[in-house]
Amino acid sequence: MTGHVHAEADWANGMALVNFWRGAENLTVRPPDGKDRWAVSQAAPYRRIHLAGDLALDDGGWSSGGFMADCCVDGTIRSGTQQQWFTRTSRIDGWQGSNWNMMFMGGPGAPATSFPAPPYTTLQTVPVIREKPFLCVGPDGAWSIFVPSLRRDAAGVSWDGTPGGRHVPLRDVLIADPATPVATINRALAAGRHLVLTPGVYRLRQPLRVTRADTVILGLGLATLLAEGGTAALTVADVPGVTIAGLLIDAGPQNSPVLMQIGPRGADGDHGDRPTLLADLFFRVGGAAIGNAGTCLEINSHHVIGDHLWIWRADHGDRDGGRVHVGWDESRATHGLVVNGDHVTCYGLFVEHFQGWQTLWNGEDGRTFFYQNELPYDPPSQRGWRADSPRGWAAYKVADHVRRHEAVGMGIYANFTADPSIVLASAVEVPDVSGVRVSDVTTISLGGGKGTIAHLVNGAGEAARPGSTRQTLIRYGGGA
């Protein structure tokens, strides 16, 4: 592209806080003036882009992103008002700016670690990653889906030289639209075909079912799976090498116990050589319409990679004309993410506004690199939020039996607008054992102090509260 590939917030006087659900990927961009803008917040991936110039991540007002992966930016990235940002395996010429939580992994040109002032967390490599598949013209001149190879201890972009991976010819792919019957899609998946979901809303009375190893499901234009009648939207058997990417999963009005399930409960397969990839998956409960769910994403299989997940209960919004469906008793959901499998790794995990533990991690050897969370805005009172305990529900809970876990670069924010007197005992709760490590954590009481987070991890750290709204903790556990 000779020109601009950009996201602006001028329509909202520069406030990019609601620039959700945008994306740009697989492009070389040459702006004539040497500058571009990507002023976004959640669910707005910037992937596999070579930008010949500088990049601004805001438009003057507040912004709350964001995610960049597998990119090369020849100029300087200016974060501006971005509250937080995650950059993975990208080569940049320079970085300016910070606010609360900026994390870099496997990226030449990234600033050195200096958390908490400025709040940069930088790791030299990415332990295990497989890039998101994409449509392309293959070596034979025909359209295909390119599925990149798995990389370990990765640094820099995947597309220098000849990238590793495989081409899936379109003759092996079902290209569906919202009128395609679910039974037709499931027959194709059972027969070993892959799936491209073109843009639109797929109303599902039964889930899409992935039963074959190495299946690719690729959504275009935020293809949306709407679970109706209390069903799940998508389930995956305990098989290796599956890819689910580029989807918005919406809860329907009848409660779905789980919206997406990766592996059945009790799954025990070893998929270390061919992990499943979940990339650019965005979940919504409520907002545009009433939605109800128990858990949005449940991961039961071992060896799963989550690469940019935004899991969101809509608990606030513009109620003008009654069009936005939010409220403690209207659109309900308990957990955003529940992990029961072992060796699950998440990069760029955003989970917000749920009514119980936002993230509950039961599996061993789990890893999260960059976590962003806003607690629910709308609990009516301390007891109304959690009747059985005055502690409240932690934003990130690692189960008491877990013995090995790592979480790095965490930002957790309170904005209890319905009752600012609410206190959360701890933003993060983990077992106090040597194999569990948490580092570079930030808590903030937003709005000048609407609510209190008493501690950052277990009983460690000072309270984020009115009059002292931001707190940080460099390290907890692991023998520290």
pLDDT per residue as tens digits for the range 10-63: 999 999 999 999 999 999 999 999 999 999 999 999 999 999 999 999 999 999
pLDDT of 66 above 80: yes
Q: What is the pLDDT of residue 424?
A: 98
- Tell me: the pLDDT tens digits for 340-349? 999 999 999 9
Q: What is the pLDDT of residue 323?
A: 58
pLDDT of 320 above 60: no
pLDDT category of residue 313 using cuts at 50, 70 and 90 = very high
- Tell me: the pLDDT tens digits for 414-438? 999 999 999 999 999 999 999 999 9
With beta carbons less than 8 A apart as the criterion, state whether 176 and 196 touch.
Answer: yes
- Tell me: the pLDDT tens digits for 207-237? 999 999 999 999 999 999 999 999 999 999 9
- Tell me: the pLDDT tens digits for 387-402? 999 999 999 999 999 9
Mean pLDDT of 152-156: 97
Closest to 187 (Cα-Cα) out of 166, 162, 208:
208
Q: What is the DSSP letter of 116?
A: T
pLDDT of 267 above 60: yes
Mean pLDDT of 172-185: 98
Beta-bridged to residue 248, according to DSSP, are 224, 282
Q: Average model confidence (pLDDT) for the chain? A: 96
Closest to 180 (Cα-Cα) out of 225, 122, 116, 246:
225
Mean pLDDT of 165-171: 96
Mean pLDDT of 314-329: 70
With beta carbons less than 8 A apart as the criterion, state whether 327 and 342 touch.
Answer: no
Closest to 452 (Cα-Cα) out of 385, 388, 397:
385
Q: Return the active site residues.
A: 374
Report d(CA 237, CA 446) in Å as an integer: 41
With beta carbons less than 8 A apart as the criterion, state whether 235 and 215 touch.
Answer: no
* Residues across the chain: 480
pLDDT category of residue 175 using cuts at 50, 70 and 90 = very high
Q: What is the pLDDT of residue 161?
A: 86
Mean pLDDT of 472-477: 96
The Cα-based distances of 178 to 8, 112, 198, 201, 316 in angstroms read: 30, 47, 8, 6, 29
pLDDT category of residue 162 using cuts at 50, 70 and 90 = confident
The Cα-based distances of 182 to 186, 209, 212, 214, 233 in angstroms read: 6, 9, 17, 20, 11
pLDDT category of residue 316 using cuts at 50, 70 and 90 = confident
Looking at the whole model, is its pTM more than 0.95?
yes
Mean pLDDT of 146-168: 95
- Tell me: the pLDDT tens digits for 372-390? 999 999 999 999 999 999 9
Pairing of strands 91-96, 120-123: unpaired
- Reported as type and span, the H/E element at residue 74 is strand 72-78
Q: What is the pLDDT of residue 192?
A: 98
pLDDT of 443 above 80: yes
With beta carbons less than 8 A apart as the criterion, state whether 421 and 466 touch.
Answer: no
Q: What is the pLDDT of residue 317?
A: 65
End-to-end Cα spacing for the chain: 49
